[in-house]
Chain A
Amino acid sequence: MTNAGIDIGAKAIKVVILKNGQMLSRHAVLAGFDTRESAEQALDEALREAGLSWDNLEHIAATGAGRRQASFTHHYLTEVAADARGAHFLLPSARTIIDIGAEEGRAIKCDAEGRVIDFVINDKCAAGSGAFMESMARALEVGLEEFGNLSLRSQNTIPINAQCVIFAESEVVSLIHARAPKEDIARAVTDAIARRVASIARRVGLERDIAVVGGLARNAGFVESLKEALEVELLVLEAPEFVGALGAALPASD
């Protein structure tokens, strides 16, 4: 049985091709002007890497905020369901899943079978999302990955008082003018995002193991800040930004 899972996020579209529970390929593209077209492109590319064509696919499922745009799919599922399924597949001991994407953050609690028990979503405020880091990386004129590494090298904690990204931007500009080290500014930002994410994670309740997924899970600086904010061990899953797409590609267990 060959399945494709497509996760249409605010910034990127991720595709996973799965055959009998084995991942054949995965591919991500930036979401373009035409979401449907971008999704088809991503799927084409993932199929090419797997050496397959559309005809080989038995089932295509879509998740993510823009999932309805992929009208060629057979099935839609929510991000929460897809995350839980994907994380449970990679790490069956996961009971809490924290997913931080470009414009959304969520914390999910699930049982030993990967069934969702409870979840908390933030899709209203950029402060707990990747958009925060992107806007600050622009202000500091560094790439996202470098931003995370800078944060890891910081020796000093500078608090950012503002909760709002827009207000925090002015604070960061003031810090730049005051010649604060870039490392410390980057750390201040990852700490600020982590604080917001920690507050939604605590609302759902933290039960081990705790898996971190989504694009921001790739950012070592952010993960370190989140570890400190939550004071728990966190497990970053493999290819964390593809976990939602993987969950969509997995056949429903029921």
Chain B
Amino acid sequence: MGEQYWKWAESRWTAPDVYWTKTATVTAGVDVGSVSAQAVILVDGKLYAYSNMRTGSDSAESARKAMDWALKGSGMGLEDIQHIVGTGYGRVNVPFARRAITEIACHARGAHAMYGPSVRTILDVGGQDCKAIRCDAQGKVTTFLMNDKCAAGTGRGMEVFADLLAVPITQMGQMSLEVAEEPPPVSSTCVVFAKSEASALLRAGWPKNRVIAAYCSAMVHRIATLLNRIGVEPDLAITGGIAKNIGIVKRLENKIGLKALATEYDPQIAGAVGAALFAKTLLEKSRGGL
């Protein structure tokens, strides 16, 4: 097998100046998706460490790996974490979690914490789904729409194109912006058909960046349809892997006429952040109940 262009970069982070040994709460959230897993550790509700990994189909194994990596070098052990919540597609299979909470609730709460309390709409585009979520000033979900049936408009579609064009996925967004003028979008919705269409365009002499631009533009159309159905209320936060694709973010901002908020952290950890915050609430509730 040759180079795997779809492989996006994993990440890990520890807060440089947070001390956890004499704190009230240490909680964690683990988000196990279809192609990635994230673990987030919070100390008194503040971000302490996180990991973001590519994973396989074994949810329990993915959860364990992500947790181990987040803990690595942090000086903390799994036993030091007082409450853990699992979320995501594989949430019921997180072996060390005490509760499982839906990724919709976790994304809203996590984005609200990461991007600020002005967030009212969250777009989360993950490996195998696309979610548009509306929340209130407290980060509580008011309504949501989700596509998890079709690869069009998900990260997987972009991965397929990265492999087809032999372009590393981390460069797809930038390359798509390097076109003199915006080409018409790829007309097929289905990723399988869009692939054949792209091959035909390449044969017809289109340069790669023009083909990527045409695909990005089709994907944005698809995502915008979902957003418009739910209605976009500012501010908007984009989470999930697609938030790192500038070609999608820029086009989407233009299309809906609204700039998305930025974060200094990995946008893929929003679900795990929300789960860790839920873990904190649950922990405090259990203590208060004693």
Partner of B150, one of A132, A135, A163, A174: A163
With A166-B156, A167-B128, A167-B156 known as contacts, the answer to whether A126 contacts B193 (CB < 8 A) is yes
With most chain A CB atoms within 10 A of its CB, the pick from B34, B151, B160, B192 is B192
Identify which of B151, B188, B196 contacts A167 (C-beta below 8 A). B151
CB distance from B60 to the nearest CB of A (A): 15
**Contact of A126 with B203 at beta-carbon distance under 8 Å, contacts A163-B150, A166-B157 already known:** no
Q: Are B192 and A126 in contact (CB under 8 A)?
A: yes
Residues of B within 8 A of A131 (CB): 192-193
A157-175 Cβ-contact flags toward B at 8 Å (1 or 0): 0000001111100100010
Contact of A124 among B34, B57, B189 (CB under 8 A): B189
Q: Mark A91-122, 1 if CB is under 8 A from B, else 0.
A: 00000000000010000000000000000000
Tally A-B pairs: CB < 8 A: 39
Check if A164 sits within 8 Å of B203, measured CB to CB.
no
Q: Is B192 within 8 A of A174, CB to CB? A: no
A164 contacts B149, CB within 8 Å?
A: yes
How far in angstroms is the closest Cβ of chain A from B59?
Answer: 12
Residues on the A chain within 8 Å of B191, using CB? 164-166
**B190: CB under 8 A from chain A?**
yes
**Which A residue's beta carbon lies closest to that of B149?**
A163
Across the two chains, which residue of chain B brings its CB closest to A104?
Answer: B193
Cβ of A29 within 8 Å of any chain B Cβ, yes or no, is no
Within 8 A of A (CB), among B25-59: 34, 57
Q: Which residues of B contact A126 (CB under 8 A)?
A: 190, 192-193
Q: B258 → chain A, closest Cβ, in Å?
A: 28
User: Interface readout for A194-222 with B: 1 if CB under 8 Å, 0 if not?
Assistant: 00000000000000000000000000000
Complex Cα distance, B189 from A131, in Å, reads: 14
B196 proximity list for chain A (CB < 8 A): 10, 103
Least distance between A178 CB and chain B CB atoms (Å): 9
Is A166's CB under 8 angstroms from B149's CB? no
Q: Is the pair B192, A135 in contact by a Cβ cutoff of 8 Å?
A: yes
For residue B89, give the distance in angstroms from its CB to the closest CB of chain A: 11
B contact residues around A135 at 8 Å (CB)? 192
CB nearest to B57 among chain A residues: A174
A170: which B residues are within 8 A, CB to CB? Answer: 34, 57
A103: contacting residue among B34, B128, B193, CB under 8 A = B193
Residues of A within 8 A of B203 (CB): 33
The answer to whether A166 and B193 touch (CB under 8 A), given A33-B203, A174-B57, is no
Give B183-228 interface residues, CB cut-off 8 Å to A. Answer: 188-193, 196, 203
Contact of A165 among B128, B189, B192 (CB under 8 A): B192
Q: Separation in Å of the B6 CB from the closest CB of chain A?
A: 12
In the complex, A140 has a CB within 8 A of chain B:
no
Residues of A within 8 A of B189 (CB): 124-125
Enumerate chain A interface residues (CB-CB to B < 8 A).
10, 33, 103, 124-126, 131-132, 135, 163-167, 170, 174
**Given A124-B188, A126-B193, A167-B151: 20 more A-B contacts, CB < 8 Å:** A103-B193, A124-B189, A125-B150, A125-B190, A126-B190, A126-B192, A131-B192, A163-B149, A163-B150, A164-B191, A165-B190, A165-B192, A166-B151, A166-B156, A166-B157, A166-B191, A166-B192, A167-B128, A170-B57, A174-B57
Per CB-CB distance, the 7 closest pairs between chain A and chain B, nearest first, are A166-B151, A126-B192, A164-B151, A163-B149, A126-B190, A164-B150, A166-B191
